Amino acid sequence: MADETGGSKLDPADWDAFRLEARRLLDAAIDRMARARMLPWKEVGPEARQRLMPPLPQGGQPLTGIVNTLIEDVMPYATGNTHPRFFGWVHGTGLASAFLAEMAASAMNSNCGGRDHGAVYVERAVMDWCRQIFGMAEGSSGVLTTGTSQATLIALVTARHRLTGGTARREGIRTLPPMRVYAAAGAHQCVTKALEAMGHGAAALRTIATEGPAAGMNLERLSATIEEDKRNGDLPLAVVATAGSVDAGAFDRIEELADFCARTGLWLHVDGAFGAWICLADQPWRGLAAGIGRADSIAFDFHKWVGVQYDCGGVLLRDGANHHETFASRPGYLAAQQHGLGGGDPWFCDYGLELSRGFRALKVWTVLQSHGLDAIAASITQNCRQAAYLADRLRNGGHFRVPFAPPSNVCVFGIDRSDMSEEQRSACNRAICERLQLEGTSVFSTTRIGGEVFLRAAIVNHRTTFDDIDLTVAALDRALETLSPDHLNSHADQ
């Protein structure tokens, strides 16, 4: 229903008043970014939860109130990955440059599934830059995704399309032999999820033992497992190389896997969610990604090590024609035009599962143009140095054990008490992790190696300084000293 001014109630009645409120929010948002160092994660208390989950609103409320709510009730409760001592999971930190791009993209509200408009060209530029960064040949194709999970699904479905000559697309997988995918122990869960969603089931994943806790898969085991599966009548679909494992920051030997796949005709997919970008780093780290451009497909994230705001990942496919054939599907209402807005073929909706898509490309485009590859590379190199430095400090401090040298930017460590059982050490490591999160000093997550829970830092944070690592080590030592006797003396009870 139109109001008295003739405008819809869904537009601001007074754009000048809107501008003032928007500026107030803009100031608060910039303050938040500038003061990131002061703003670690904090717990969402019961009252805050209530304010975040109000009753279903029937009527609206004035803009001033909404802006207040955003500033006071929403923005304080961030994940905390903007903080310089956030090392948990693999969370990107976000960049002010991408913030600008998101404002512009939001005002434009482009639908990037296809058609002929600026956003499509921006995404094409971004995908071609990625092709060049990873060294993939021309003729490849790529599309931005929500993240590596979705990119992995697109890559494996494309691999299946090539393998089955389109049968899977037409008839499903009922008539096909069981398919198998090979990945190192420690490969990300998104590979399993993709296989489940594709109808092959989690059992389609063959886990190949690695040559150590921070090493790649054993190629002889890979070869033997594939032979065994073939003898059983199974269909090998793809080898998934991990470029940067979540647990350890470990890399498969991509060059050797590329040789192996070239010899055997198998599809090589690289899960390079964060680690693919190590190809920008200084040596020795850069060498870990050698050969990545030879893959048939690469999945990677912008929202982790490149620092682009969530969510944003991408996938590159070496055979662009095969990629297009796998997903192209344009009923009458989406028919291409020769000229006009309905032109602009090929459309991105023909390269993945989404039809309507946001303008993710603009934040990547803006980040890369405003900082250049060199600054991003320097930050990636610095994070690898910081992981090595953290490992050194912990080893020399005498309280913590570092089970293996960080291969890249992930440092795994735990309390060094050989007099305790694995379970007791695990309990201590978990308690230290929680303590540091709750006090707002540093955020780690945990992972399990063998039977033991370890602390883990994945440093993908451009804001982290070496002083932050020193501060973190001091906080760890303090946490250890103040760990309750229940934790530290539990071995005496036995």
Ligand X SMILES: *Cc1c(COP(=O)(O)O)cnc(C)c1O
Residues that bind ligand X (CB under 6 A): 90, 147-149, 188, 190, 244, 246, 271, 273-274, 301, 313
Closest CB to ligand X among residues 361, 432 = 361
CA 440, 442, 443, 444 dihedral sign is negative
Amino acid at 347: W
d(CA 266, CA 296): 9
- In the complex, the smallest distance separating the C-beta of residue 228 from ligand X, rounded to whole angstroms, is 26
- Helix/strand/coil for 454: strand
- In the complex, the smallest distance separating the C-beta of residue 271 from ligand X, rounded to whole angstroms, is 5
Closest CB to ligand X among residues 246, 427 = 246
- In the complex, the smallest distance separating the C-beta of residue 156 from ligand X, rounded to whole angstroms, is 13
Concatenate the DSSP letters of all residues of 468-479 into one string. HHHHHHHHHHHH
- In the complex, the smallest distance separating the C-beta of residue 478 from ligand X, rounded to whole angstroms, is 30
- In the complex, the smallest distance separating the C-beta of residue 187 from ligand X, rounded to whole angstroms, is 8
Alpha carbon 300 to its chain's center: 7
Residue with tokens 């944070």: 461
d(CA 67, CA 443): 29
- In the complex, the smallest distance separating the C-beta of residue 246 from ligand X, rounded to whole angstroms, is 5
Closest CB to ligand X among residues 80, 313 = 313
Q: Which structure tokens are listed for 132?
A: 């060049």
Closest CB to ligand X among residues 275, 414 = 275
Amino acid at 433: C
DSSP one-letter code for 133: H
Closest CB to ligand X among residues 88, 114 = 88
d(CA 315, CA 222): 25
- Helix/strand/coil for 219: helix
CA 125, 127, 133, 135 dihedral sign is negative
CB neighbours of 447 closer than 8 A, spacing ≥ 6?
A: 246, 247, 412, 453, 454, 456
- In the complex, the smallest distance separating the C-beta of residue 222 from ligand X, rounded to whole angstroms, is 18
Closest CB to ligand X among residues 315, 428 = 315
Task: Provide the 10 A C-beta neighbour count for residue 72.
Answer: 12
Q: What angle do CA 105, 108, 111 make, to 5 degrees?
A: 85
Closest CB to ligand X among residues 147, 291 = 147
- In the complex, the smallest distance separating the C-beta of residue 190 from ligand X, rounded to whole angstroms, is 4
CA 92, 97, 101, 104 dihedral sign is positive
Task: Look at strands 235-242 and 179-184 and give their pairing.
Answer: parallel
Closest CB to ligand X among residues 252, 301 = 301
Q: Among 292, 260, 296, which Cα is nearest to 154's?
A: 296
- In the complex, the smallest distance separating the C-beta of residue 303 from ligand X, rounded to whole angstroms, is 6
- In the complex, the smallest distance separating the C-beta of residue 277 from ligand X, rounded to whole angstroms, is 11
- In the complex, the smallest distance separating the C-beta of residue 242 from ligand X, rounded to whole angstroms, is 6
- In the complex, the smallest distance separating the C-beta of residue 274 from ligand X, rounded to whole angstroms, is 5
Closest CB to ligand X among residues 21, 252 = 252
Closest CB to ligand X among residues 300, 351 = 300
Closest CB to ligand X among residues 277, 400 = 277
Residue with tokens 């030879």: 294
Output the CA–CA distances (angstroms, integers) from residue 241 to 145, 208, 228, 458, in the order listed. 20, 11, 20, 19
- In the complex, the smallest distance separating the C-beta of residue 188 from ligand X, rounded to whole angstroms, is 3
CA 268, 204, 237, 231 dihedral sign is positive
Closest-CB residue for ligand X?
147
Output the CA–CA distances (angstroms, integers) from residue 125 to 166, 304, 311, 361, 371, in the order listed. 29, 20, 19, 9, 16
- Helix/strand/coil for 363: helix
Closest CB to ligand X among residues 148, 379 = 148
Residue 436, classified by CB atoms within 10 Å of its CB into exposed (0-12), middle (13-18) or buried (19+), is buried
Q: What angle do CA 436, 442, 444 make, to 5 degrees?
A: 80
Closest CB to ligand X among residues 252, 271 = 271
d(CA 198, CA 177): 14
